[in-house]
Structure formats: C-alpha cells, structure tokens
Structure 1
Amino acid sequence: MKKINLSTRQKDIIELVKANQPITSEQLASKIGVTRAALRPDLAILTMTGILEARPKVGYICSQKSSSSLIYDYIRKIKVKDVMTKPVTIDEQTTVYNAIVNLFLNDVGTIFIENNGYLVGAVSRKDFLKTAIGGTDINKVPVGIIMTRMPNIVFVEPEDSAYEAAKKIIEREVDSLPVIERISEGNGDKVKVIGKLSKTNITRLFLKLSENT
C-alpha cells in the first residue's frame, strides 16, 4: 500500500474549497487558471479519497466526515489481495517431524496441507504441541492424521475485505487464514491456496496506515 501524495494543484483546490464552499468546478478552474477538463482528474481523486464532496447543482464542499471516519472508510476498502503473503504448504503424507521443520524454517504459525495441489487441511503450532506431548512418533505419522480437515478450515478470498478477514482471525482464534481460489470440477468445487493472511500481515497493515496519517 503506497502513501497518497497530493499534488500542489490538489492542495490549492482544497484551500479554495475551504474558503469558498460550495464552489463549482467552473469557478475553481477560473481561480486556478486552467480548463474544467484539466481539473477533472484532480477533482476525481479528491472526491474518491473522501477529502471533498461533490453535490449536484451546488458544487464542491469539504467532507463533513471526521478524520477517523475517513480512515475507517479507507480501511474497509483494503482487500485481502492487497496484504496477503505467500503461504507455506506441504503434502498430507509429509511426516509430522518434517512438517515441524518446515514450520520453524519458514517462521510461520500455520502450515496448509494439500493433496494433488488442492487444500485439504491446516495444522498449527498447537496441533504439533499436542501431538508431541501425546507421545506420537513424529518421524512416522503423516501430518494428515493430526491436521484440521476441510470443510472445517476458515478461509478468505482475494477480493474479500481485509477488515472482515481480520475479524475472522480474532473470532476464530487462529494464527492465519488461507487465501483461496475456487476451482470448478465435475464433482464439485475444490480450492487452491494462493496466499495467506496472518496476524503479522494485519500488524504490518496498521503500521503502514499509521505511517500514512
């Protein structure tokens, strides 16, 4: 996510609106010394970001929303695909021991399990801990035995709101969610893992938001 930097002309437009609101695009163009067509992209940006409001047959005014409301609206527009990262996946026949090695080498809290390239389950640090405490031979048992299986996996899709995905993480008390792509086949839909959204992704998102305010 990149910080939005306003141009000098866009800043001038904001000041003119503050001083003369409501003000039409014709009046703004006249004061700035450009054509309405030249001003149109700037006005579009300022209205889309919520800085200005366009009122039909009246003109432009500064937004009545508070800064916190604008930030809330901005957050709700961020999608999962904007913040997701690469998932760690293994085959369900991988031994628990090798799965644990993968977990620590990749520094993740959850590994997603595939069979023939499709998502079939997930296993977390808690699952590994329970297995190790239970005395299971982790060098022989496949991870498919201890994983949580579909359809009990909570997932999200790229176009979903990152805000709603973060709520799922909190409500379900999980480390991360797989980001999936649906694949239609003759015997029903299957899903592929194309990314992950984790607590770390959400933390990074809020850090970036704070840097941009």
Structure 2
Amino acid sequence: MTARQLELLELVRKHAPVTGEQLAEFLGVSRPTLRSDLSLLVMLGLLDAKPKVGYFLGNAYAPENKSMERLHTVTVKQVMGVPVNIPEKLSVHDAVIALFTENANTLLIVNDNQRLVGIVTPKDLLKITLGHAGSTSIPISMVMTRYPNIATLLPEDSVMDAIRKMLLYQVDCLPVIVPGSDTKEPPEIAGWMSKTNIIRVMSDAAVTEQGDALQ
C-alpha cells in the first residue's frame, strides 16, 4: 500500500465517521485526488462508506492484515483465468453469440497467429448494433479497441498491481500478455485477470486467517 493509503486508514481510524472532504482537508489535497485511493480501500474491504455519513473502518481492516499481504505477494500468473478469444475476421453477430454462449463479459480479439490485436465489450457491441441496420455483418475488427490502446498486465505483476490498473482505467478485467522480442508483433495472450480472481485471492486469505486464529 502507498503511504497516503496507510495515512487514510489511520485518519479514518481516529476520526470515523469522516467525509471525503474532511479527509482531503486533513491531507491538504483536493477531494478528487483521493478518489482512487478511497475506491481501492473500499473495494478491499478496509474501509466502508455510507452516503451522507462518511467513511469508517471495514471488516477487513486489521493492524497486520494477511489478506493485504497476499495481494502484494501473489502474482497474476498464480491466479489468472482463461479468456475467451475470437478471430478478428468474425462478424459482430458472431461476437454477440460468443459473448452469450461463453458467458463472457469481454472478448479478446486475435489474429491468425493467435496474438492479441484487440478487445471488445458488450457496450461496444451494443453501441454498434443499436439503430444500425446490417451492423451485425460488420467485422469485429472494425469495432474493437486495438492493441496497444489496451490496458494489460504481465504474468509477474502482483494482484495489487491488477487492482490499481482496474481502478485507474475503470474496468472489471484485464488481459495478461507476454510481449514478444519483436516490438512490431502483437503480444501473446497468457491469461485473463478479473475482479472474480481478486475476490478469490482475498477469500482464500481470509479462510487461512480464520484457520490460524482457531489453532
């Protein structure tokens, strides 16, 4: 955790319930400056918040929190999942079918060499199909967000790195890549990191902590 996030936890511990405006005043910064830090702490369960009341310590808070330690020590490679990939030549119609049949919330687009060339979300597909007759026949390559304009992770990144990127780019999942030696060639896809993977890591850590407490 950053020094500012630790300071926020200590301020909330001392002054809870405390508003975001009050925390910003304590630290001498603007309220928007703290938005990502507070979102991260709430997401991790270290802080909780109630509208018109303020922030207070969450259930996951503890002076020595093993769940937090695991977020820093466990790598993306250890917990990542398998993404749903589709060829870039597929149509929007086929992409919509893949989205539902695979129960996916995002699709990775690959070229003939199975390398990452783009990403598409349900929102992208909805925007192109609403009010556009014949749009379902458009190649998915015309709709996708192209690499390298995609937020990605490396297998060696920590779970905390994944959380920070998800908050920064306001996404629920990120592709995990292995860049090739040729910078002109798109990267290989190693896996997929989602909020579900992160929750599983924290849940496993919580179970371990409970087991340790009972011994």
5+ residue gaps in structure 2? 1-61, 210-215
Cα deviation 1:145-182 (Å, max 9, x = unaligned): 11001111110011011111111112211231111111
2:100 corresponds to which of 100, 104, 128: 104
Structure number, greater radius of gyration? 1
1:150 aligns with 2:147: yes
Residue by residue over 1:101-155, the C-alpha shift from the partner in whole angstroms, topping out at 9 and shown as x without a partner, is 1111111111011112211110001101111214252431011111001111110
2-structure distance, mates of 1:209, 1:135: 48
Q: Is the contact between residue 97 and residue 139 of structure 1 (CA under 8 Å) also seen in structure 2?
A: yes
Contact 2:152 2:175 survives alignment (8 Å): yes
Report the TM-score, using the length of structure 2 for normalisation. Answer: 0.63
| Partners of 1:139 and 1:124 in 2: CA distance | 15
- As a proportion of its length, which structure holds more strand? 1
User: C-alpha distance in 2, partners of 1:82/1:144?
Assistant: 31
1:122 corresponding residue in structure 2: 119
The DSSP-based 3-state class of the residue aligned with 1:179 is strand
Q: Aligned with 1:120: secondary structure?
A: strand
The 3 A distance-change label for structure 1 pair 179 and 108 is same
SS in 2 for 1:188: coil
- Describe how 1:1-213 pairs up with structure 2 within 5 A: 66-68=63-65, 70-116=66-112, 117-185=114-182, 188-213=184-209
**Root mean square deviation of aligned Cα:** 1.8
* Identity percentage of aligned residues: 35
What count of residue pairs does the alignment treat as equivalent? 147
State how far apart, in whole Å, the 2-side matches of 1:89 and 1:78 are. Answer: 25
Whole-angstrom CA distance in 1 between matches of 2:167 and 2:99: 21
Unaligned runs of 5+ in 1: 1-64
- Which stretch has the larger CA shift, 74-83 or 202-211? 202-211
Q: CA–CA distance in 1 between the matches of 2:199 and 2:133?
A: 35
Deviations 1:44-99 (A, max 9, x none): xxxxxxxxxxxxxxxxxxxxx9422x442332001001110111111111011111
TM-score (norm 1): 0.64
The alpha-carbon distance between structure 1 residues 173 and 193, as it changes in their structure 2 partners (threshold 3 A), is same
